A and B are shown apart, each in its own frame.
Chain A
Amino acid sequence: MKKLLKLFTVLAASMALMLSLFACGEAPQEKKAEEAAPAEKAEAPKEEPKTIKAGFVYVSPVGDAGYSYAHDQGRKAVDALDYATTAFVESVPEGADSERVIRNMARKGFDVIFTTSFGYMDPTLKVAKEFPDVDFMHCSGFKKSENVDNYFGRIYQARYLTGLVAGAMTKTNKLGYVAAFPIPEVIRGINAFTVGVRQMNPDAEVRVVWTKTWYDPALEKDAAKSLLDAGCDVIAQHQDSPAPQEAAQEAGAYSIGYNSDMSSFAPKAHLTSAIWNWGPMYVKTVEQVRDGTWKGNESLWWSMQDGVVDIAPMGPMVPEDVKIVVEASKAELMKGNDICFVGPIKDQNGEIKIAEAEKATDAQLHDMMWFVEGVVGTVK
């Protein structure tokens, strides 16, 4: 009963706090943050000035073997540094909840905060404005400010290489692509994949199914099955679960994974994966933050050369001559020669979008809302 009483007092106290919230509603936000800071338990005194606290916000659970898992591998690389500590919050919905989580981190004295999903863009900018001393890194968006960089990797380069493999392996000349949302990031990947496929096999076509979700294993699997039923014999994916890989293996078809090496989920089907490797650039960023050389207002688009994107080791079913072609193309990319979108490249209507011998500009890539020739599907 005593405990009950205690709990009751605590509840009553919280109500009083609630009321006082209205009373001091006039106080400016900065002041409140200062008031709150000394009481904060996590704000332990720093042993040496060069210790860096890095925070990460993920949209899905880190156990998804997909997108957030890949980011978390990057976080672990940072955590291994002797001068850095890290913390993360997972499964944070985009929108209002993310703003609160990001603000919470900024309040608790994190030096640099990585917000790793597109929907965190506006919340990141809002919070960044209130905390000018904290550095923010937002992944996959397009806005930036004094203390916010946006960053992403040229995963389309890896997609292009996986397209080469897939194009060489298809027999029905029909490939399936389970895709999340019709936004430039995903469309760019489908296009790069298709360019690769048709380079090896000009008659092949890539069929796209939109799931309108990043992570929904059951739905992803169903989408893959519908593509397999339509005669596709290689399944690629822009999804965060390995479910499409499993569907391909069950149907005796091949598959191309995404995010991390998905070979363990479908060893018989898995040809290769387009993979993220955030570690090197995350470590570099944290280094810059420590040295004070980090700069805001930048759009960073890291490439295969920077080690951020790659392909997983190719499966034993991929013939040697195909591997040689893929390795040669990868060597070009590693030299910084972006060979993925070299003209002439036509759209679905046969209209030339990238002229003969020209390369796609970053602006064209950022804004890509059209499919290349050879894709079956619409961008809606």
Chain B
Amino acid sequence: MPLKIRKRDEPWKWGALVVFLGALLFSLLVSALLLAGQGKDPIEGLYVLWQGSFGHLWALEGALLKAIPLFLCSLGVAVAFRMQIWNIGAEGQFALGAIGATWMALLFPDLPGIVLLPLMFVMAFLFGGLWAFIPAFLKLKLRVNEIISTLMLNYIAILLLDYLVFGVWKDPASFGFPMTPEFTAGAIIPSIGGSRVHWGLLFCVVVGVGLWAFMRFTRLGFELQASGEGPRVAKYAKIRYGMLVMLVMGLSGGFAGWAGCIETSAVLNRLQPSLMVGYGYTAIVVAWLARLEPLNIAFASFLLAALRVGVENMQLELQVPAAFGVIMEGIILMTVLAGQFFLIYKLERKRRS
């Protein structure tokens, strides 16, 4: 049956969902084959994966917890990407946010949470945002490519974090190990009810909805989207491109900073180098997977987090190597992204002429 590729004349309704689910199914099939190749029962493997991701309340809790920093970083990255500003620096901005929040937590340990936590969030936003201003400024004034500068600043940020926890902020009671003292109760984001999930989740919802409303209902948001086509379009429409770049990078860095603040405060309860596990980089993948839409980003972060949590269960139950999880994740991302092809093109049977 000869096939030919044709560009779609009009967008495929529900196409995105069908393609996404189809790609997911395909990659699960491939993963099952890989499992079989290792001599494991593929059906059991997928069942164990399911159990580990969604099978219990605590599995969901784990996934939700992991999704929070991913979501905020990814949201920030997406804001910048929409304007075609390639901020690869969420990782560093995340670190700076954690540093800003920790500074407040160590400076005012006796403040009650109602004062201290907002202070930490403000500082985290400022630190993350200012860190992202550096590449924005360099781009506008010196035409430095922001991909390079944001990436490079990640390394500097991590070294700065190291410097602080190995040096001035080191807990005197830690026997020389790199960590700050544990935060006081006021500096820790409490959990929701008796669950393990903390109020950072609600914060994510507020930020997500806020950003959506901002993009949709404000003039600035409209200008942002319009100038996504590039500086020339923006100039033509008399939009202040430079100001928007600064704004977008500030927001982008601030969101990542918030993620760093939440992760430090709610999960680790102190600053230590193991905070940095690459959420800032994963966020880029999530943002693309979600096609830069806030609601999609929420789903994509949750699904990716659930996958990572579920794969741990597979490791434990089936003793597959950790690399299997990474491979699975890679297959899913590749197929979903490759599946986008079908949104623009369709395959048709070649008619005999």
Contact = CB atoms under 8 A, between A and B. Distances in A.
A228 B321 CA distance: 36
B166 A182 contact: yes
A95 B274 contact: yes
Interface string B21-65: 110110000000000000000000000100100111110111011
Interface in A175-193: 181-184, 187
- What is the predominant secondary structure among interface residues of chain A facing chain B? helix
Nearest to A95: B274
Contacts of B316: 55, 87, 89, 101, 104-105, 108
A183 B322 contact: no
B142 interface: no
A295 interface: no
A357 interface: no
A4 B82 CA distance: 31
Given A119-B272, A212-B162, A107 B175 contact: no
A4 B60 contact: no
A184 B66 contact: no
B184 to A, nearest CB: 16
B57 A97 contact: no
B58 A36 contact: yes
Interface footprint category on A = 35 or more
B178 interface: yes
Interface residues of B, number: 50
B57 A36 contact: yes
Given A87-B319, A90-B315, A367-B175, A21 B197 contact: yes
Contacts of B139: none
B18 interface: yes
B346 interface: no
A156 to B, nearest CB: 15
B323 A61 contact: yes
7 contacts: A17-B54, A27-B195, A32-B57, A36-B58, A90-B315, A96-B65, A118-B177
Interface of B: 18, 21-22, 24-25, 48, 51, 54-58, 60-62, 64-66, 162, 166-167, 175-178, 192-197, 263, 267-270, 272, 274-275, 277, 309, 312-313, 315-317, 319, 321-323
Given A14-B60, A42-B317, 8 more contacts: A8-B21, A27-B194, A87-B317, A90-B315, A90-B322, A91-B322, A100-B62, A184-B176
